[in-house]
Amino acid sequence: MQVLESDSDLLASIFDLLNSTVLIVFEDGSIAMANKRAENLFRAGAGGLTGLAFSEIFMPDDREILLPNILHLTNTHGEYEGEAMLMRRDGSTFMALIATSAFKFNNHHAAIIIINDISRLKGIERILNQSERMAFWGAMLDDISHQIRNPVLAIGGFARRLANLDVLRKDYVQVILHESSRLELLLSTLTEYIDMPRPIAEPTPISRVIEAVIPEVQRFVEGHGMTLHFKCLGDVCTQDCVIDIRAFQKALMECVKNACEDCAETESKVLKLFVKASDREPYNVLFELRDYGHGIRPQMLPKVFDPFFSTKSGHIGMGLTFARRIIDEQAGHMVIESEPNLGTTVKFYFVKERRRSIRTQRL
């Protein structure tokens, strides 16, 4: 296709003045024009991008699906915006924000492509995520010091009393033993949390997840004198989801334990577990656990995932903290809904594919 003729020099001059990386791409996929910022960004040299196939700046894995989808959305909707890993002419890569707009010039269908290198922004995002994790661990350390302080004070106080007595006080000894056990449980729980391996999530048939998980849940529920009603709704069981079965089983069992304990002193002896299609993007499957126990008071609901939060005596309060971390680390999402005296619903969402659909399905 012939490159822009009469106004090409004027356009090139205007583009070179723009404070952005700009390409013009014809409908046949060739780059008709690139400004100096584009040539510098892609390390192409003067004129090194003109006439090049637009696909050459994309990673090989993205040329078959993502690139055609970007062009399709540009042609049908007039614009597109999204992120992609792009490749310079020397083979190096960078993360880019791509914005496109369709237009006509001299009866040619074309697209203006604006590209911004967001590698630094991604680096800042990673730093912020690390900061959030550090803030979480900082808050957790405050909670740990509080959790440890009380048992240590009790142990020290009663040990000093025993040291000043001529006779053995078994009740003092029992307090020391009880508080020591609390400390041991706390430390073992923290060790388990710190050493917990990262889930290895991979595409897995949902039917296989069900076969592996439901029998253990059934045994546990029946062992607590309750009944489990399980149902797979629709054709979701014929699909796949990205999941680590063993890790999910641990997360689910933490919630099943809570449900059985909450229902222990009620007349409700039924738990329901559903597997169904998700109505929440970008997830495709939902595991939903329902109990009909006491429920959670509204003011307590925002705290349920906090480390060491528990309304039950003798509990460390780390079960839901474990569960949420497990689900988050395999691209899932966990939600708890509850109403006092009506029960609690725990929802586990999972994706079918970690990558966005624009990268996996031709439009």
**The model's pTM:** 0.64
- The backbone torsions φ and ψ at residue 226, rounded to the nearest 5 degrees and listed phi first, read -120, 175
Phi-psi region of 290 (alpha: psi -120 to 50; beta: other; left: phi over 0): beta
* Closest to 11 measured CA to CA, from 100, 78, 110: 110
pLDDT score recorded for residue 5: 47
Calpha distance 263→256 (Å, rounded): 11
* Closest to 11 measured CA to CA, from 20, 24, 25: 24
Mean pLDDT, the chain, rounded, equals 84
Q: Give Cα 188 to chain centroid, integer Å.
A: 27
Residues of the chain with CATH 1.10.287: 119-195
Residues of the chain with CATH 3.30.565.10: 198-363
Residues 35-59: tens digit of each pLDDT: 888 999 999 988 899 899 999 999 9
Residues of the chain with CATH 3.30.450.20: 8-117
Query: Can you read off the two tokens belonging to residue 239?
Result: 């699909």
pLDDT score recorded for residue 4: 44
Residues of the chain whose pLDDT is less than 50?
Answer: 1-6
* Residues 290, 337 contacting (CB under 8 angstroms): no
Question: Could you name the CATH architecture of 198-363?
Answer: 2-Layer Sandwich (3.30)
CATH superfamily, domain at 8-117: PAS domain (3.30.450.20)
Calpha distance 97→338 (Å, rounded): 40
DSSP string, 270-282: EEEEEEEE--STT
Name which CATH class applies to 119-195: mainly alpha
Calpha distance 90→88 (Å, rounded): 5
pLDDT score recorded for residue 155: 76
Residues 119-153: tens digit of each pLDDT: 887 766 666 666 665 556 656 666 766 677 777 77
